[in-house]
Amino acid sequence: MVHVICELVLDGVVPFDLGVPAQIFGAARDESGKRLYDVRVCGPGPATTEAGFTVIPKYDISELAKADTIIVPGIHRGGPVTDGTIEPEIRDALRAAAARGARIVSICTGASVLAAAGLLDGRPAATHWAWADRIGGLYRSVAWDFDVLFVDDGDILTSAGVGAGVDLCLHIIRTDHGAGAANRAARRCVVPPWRDGGQAQFIERPVPSAGGEGTEPTRAWVLDRLAEPVSLEEMAGHARMSVRTFTRRFRDETGLSPRQWLLRQRVEHARILLESTDLAVDAVARRSGLGSATALRQHMHATIGVAPSAYRRTFRPDLQALSSGRKLPMDH
């Protein structure tokens, strides 16, 4: 059955945050073109926006009881972002959904709604960096991370502001149906399937004046050589910078160190190979530049919490025999 997503619209809703899930999940299709999600908009009543129009949800909040996933878009006014309060009917509906096992998601300041409902106590969560002082001050029991684009804490996922909602929606599609489905949705929506770094790169702060074209050409150069050993010195040399300058500029542009970024690209490439080829795990490790099956297992456990064989069984059940590491004709 199609996965049902309910967007909870409250007064003061951010229009972009509301539109993103409908657009991204609406673009998610399987290889035959069949829709993978059914997105429904619900709420306690008409919701005004600061963009000069009112949203009238098609469904009331009773629809939340049918949802596999609930998404709360950001809000710019109301109790959750002003004094930490929330309407009892909204609180109870969210708690009931969480108790029955629904996946709960927020975009931007929608995290304040989850926090006001008591769903984020003691848990890691993200929201827009510009709201860090206000929301962080209202909900001190939450382990806020204002540097990342999103936080996946299993049954509850939260994102930073505005565009980070796109990243989180694509991450959910990738988790549910694999990189292929997420990439197809991204292409359909003309957005990148994955963005590097965190929201630290978007925080207003003095940045050294950039000369030339920055580190982007070097990142593209590295992506063509993931299977090869590429050192920090080689990257800096390609960018025609000193190692120190390159490292600083790289972090300014991506929010990550060069080594962190390279590892993330290699793990992501390994995931695509596990999903889309019948290469044995050793070969996947080599072609993604991670060297050995042991290293691949360690890095996949650290980043997504599963072993390569388990990941492949999830997205390629037809290749379960490969979990034993048996050599195949393509493994050369």
Query: Looking at residues 215-242, what average pLDDT do you find?
Result: 92
What is the arithmetic mean of pLDDT over 154-161? 93
Which whole-number Å values give the CA distances from 227 to 135, 183, 285, 307, in the listed order? 43, 22, 9, 20
For residue 312, which of 271, 268, 282, 265 has the smallest C-alpha distance? 271
Q: How far does the chain reach from its first CA to its final CA, in angstroms?
A: 39
Predicted pLDDT of residue 198: 54
Structure confidence at residue 62 (pLDDT): 96
Closest CA to 325 of 287, 294, 291: 294
The predicted model gives 308-312 an average pLDDT of 84
Identify which has the larger pLDDT, 86 or 273.
86
128-137, 164-173, 198-207, 234-243, range with the lowest pLDDT: 198-207
| Cβ proximity of 5 and 40 under 8 Å | yes
pLDDT of residue 179: 82
- Residue identified by tokens 């980043």 is 303
Whole-number Å distance between alpha carbons of 156 and 134: 21
The span from the CA of 75 to the CA of 82, in Å, is: 11
> Which residues are CB-neighbours of 222 under 8 A, at least 6 positions away?
230, 235, 262, 265
321 has a pLDDT exceeding 60: no
Instruction: Read off the pLDDT of each residue in 131-151 and give the average, rounded to a whole number.
Output: 92
Residue 266 and residue 230 in contact, taking contact as beta carbons nearer than 8 Å: no
Give the tens place of pLDDT for each residue, 169-221: 999 999 899 888 888 898 888 887 766 555 544 444 333 334 446 898 999 89
Return the pLDDT at 279. Answer: 87
pLDDT digits (tens, 9 = 90+) for 9-62: 999 999 999 999 999 999 999 888 899 999 999 999 999 998 999 999 999 999
Single out the residue of 122, 114, 120, 200 nearest to residue 164, CA to CA: 200
HSE (CB half, 13 Å, CA atoms) of 126? Answer: 25
* 119 CB neighbour count, 10 Å cutoff: 23
C-alpha–C-alpha distance, residues 62 and 67, integer Å = 10
